[in-house]
A and B are shown apart, each in its own frame.
Chain A
Amino acid sequence: MSAVQVTGASKIFNQGTPKQVDALIDVNLTVEPGEFVSLIGPSGCGKSTLLRLIANLLEPTTGSVMVNGKSASQSRLDQDYGMAFQQAGLFDWRTVAKNIELPLELKGWDKEKRAARAQEMLELVKLPEFAELYPWQLSGGMQQRIAIARALAAHPPLLLMDEPFGALDEMTREYMQGELLRICAETSTTVVFVTHSIPEAVYLSNRVVVMSPRPGRITDLINVNLGAKRTEDTRAATDFFTGITAVREALRGTHADHANAGAVRGVEDR
């Protein structure tokens, strides 16, 4: 059973009006359990739309989306996935621990169970002493770690992330990438990860899904395998650069019809 199975999915906004936008056309994507898959592409390629289809925050215009062998809407009701966004989106009026407990509270867990799980998650993200602080007392990187802890609090098998490290500085970002890999390995979580950073996609993923705009579609699937144990040395390894070059060329292909094919707008090289 696949973790995610998208079959012939299209998403068209404002269909039949002059403002019609073909956000996604005929997308097919399968993600196996335990895989780490990144979606990359220039702005407007529909990568966030695809993530929201998987999350059932949007319904596909045509086609089907299955998560854990169930319909996407059923998976959302069963909370089969956790989600993290570019903004940590923690609630200012809740302590760090209470923020992590939020999805459990919505599920109706009792108090002791919630507190125990929150502490377990805080240890997972290595911030155990911050339980009683408020989010605004934390740095951006710490906030994002709490957001990941919240997303994983109910132990969902799937984690959906929409540019979660986009607002962090480069040093914090690389640290967070390492932490994310460690956390996902420890919890054997499947990840679908939206990014516009090529090195980030290559470093993190088993597979990189390259997308292209107007209309949004998948143009390439690139297998990267940097091994299970990635360290800071991996960032200097030949395989890493081979992966980056492959993704960059695939992205250039998405702009082949443009006169200036040199620059890929909206995708960072860092």
Chain B
Amino acid sequence: MNRFARRAAYRTSMFVLSVVLVIALWEMYKVVGPQDGGKLFGAGVLPRSNDTAMPHVWTMLSRYGRPEVRGSDKRVWVVVLAGAWFSFRLAIVGFLLGSSIGVGLSVVMSRFRLVERGLLPYLVVSQTVPLIALAPLVALWGGKLHIFGFEWPRWFSAAVLGAFLSFFPIAVGTLRGLASAPAAAVELMESYAASWKQILLKLRFPSAIPYMVPAFKLGASGSVVGVVVAEISTGLKGGIGRLIIEYAREATADPAKVFTAVFGAAALGLTMAGVIAISDVYLMRNRPKETSS
């Protein structure tokens, strides 16, 4: 087995191990934890361990195979998968939008120090606005827009909020990356009379990739969070966020059901981050490995 296969096998087994560990902890707490919650040092911090609050892992898993509502022939996994696919597409749109805005802003900021100084504080402030408050506003504004016959579809508000959460880490990470090109390399390019654009494309962006990949990972999971929250607060139907809300209403009668949707949302975020991780392996395939010198 070569080194890469060994490393992949190692990583996979570590992932499986961590999942097993989480399941074991969950089930162990159900055994030892108080049924109706408990107090620790006078504060009610111990969660309830009864089957309503914490269903057994196998109950949750088997819920995927049973019908969504009594008498329906649609099983839960079909509905969750369809919802995840719907939200995934919105998240992709949001991510593409957010990354173009983020990269665009970082290029402008790296070009003009004045813009960086003026703009960066506002970008930071923008991230402190609670998404749950912003979502209905965006839907409201968007609904009133009619530009050149373009009607703002309802789903687009959710994608915009995904973009809103994803652009910030991408802008900040790319900005740092663009600035990471060594001064000597910039000087070399200047000695070749390279233009600003040539330096950007042939030096600054390639040097920025190690900074951009983690930033894009954050941005990708941010777009999922943005879309899910936006679905909930604007009441958009069809996505995983909506499913979480719907299933949560049945939490007392059918506690396992809401977890199926929550896991769906988590899997969505992991998928997005995974796509970026694969592109990382591709982009960095010829770079020096940390181990070699």
Contacts and interface: CB of A to CB of B under 8 A. Distances in A.
Interface stretch (A59-67, A85-93, A109-117): A85-93
Contact of A85 (B188, B193, B203): B188
Tell me whether chain B's interface is mostly helix, strand or loop, or mixed: helix
A55 interface: yes
Given A87-B184, A102-B202, A92 B191 contact: no
A153 to B, nearest CB: 10
A134 B292 CA distance: 13
Contact of B292 (A57, A83, A103, A136): A136
B288 A92 contact: yes
A77 B193 contact: yes
Contacts of A107: 192
B44 to A, nearest CB: 55
A1 interface: no
Given A93-B286, A106-B198, A57 B193 contact: no
Contact of B286 (A55, A57, A79, A134): A134
B274 interface: no
B194 interface: yes
Interface residues of B, number: 20
Contact of B288 (A57, A102, A136): A136
A91 to B, nearest CB: 7
Contacts of B209: 93
A136 B288 CA distance: 6
Given A57-B190, A79-B193, A89 B288 contact: no
Interface in B183-242: 184-185, 187-194, 198, 202-203, 206, 209
A76 interface: yes
Contact of A83 (B188, B206, B286): B188
Interface string B161-185: 0000000000000000000001011
A106 B185 contact: no
Contacts of A76: 190-191, 193
Interface in B247-293: 286-288, 292
A103 B202 CA distance: 11
Given A57-B190, A57-B191, A91 B288 contact: no
B192 A92 contact: no
Given A89-B185, A93-B286, A79 B192 contact: yes
Centre residue among B182, B185, B193 by max chain A CB count within 10 A? B193
A76 B287 CA distance: 31
A136 B284 CA distance: 13
A35 B191 CA distance: 21
A57 B193 CA distance: 10
Interface of A: 55, 57, 76-79, 81, 83, 85, 87, 89, 91-93, 95, 102-103, 105-107, 134, 136, 160
Given A89-B188, A160-B191, 19 more contacts: A55-B191, A57-B190, A76-B190, A77-B193, A78-B193, A79-B192, A79-B193, A85-B188, A87-B184, A89-B182, A89-B184, A92-B287, A93-B209, A93-B287, A102-B202, A105-B202, A106-B193, A107-B192, A136-B287
Q: Which 3 A/B pairs are nearest by Cβ-Cβ distance?
A: A136-B288, A83-B191, A93-B206
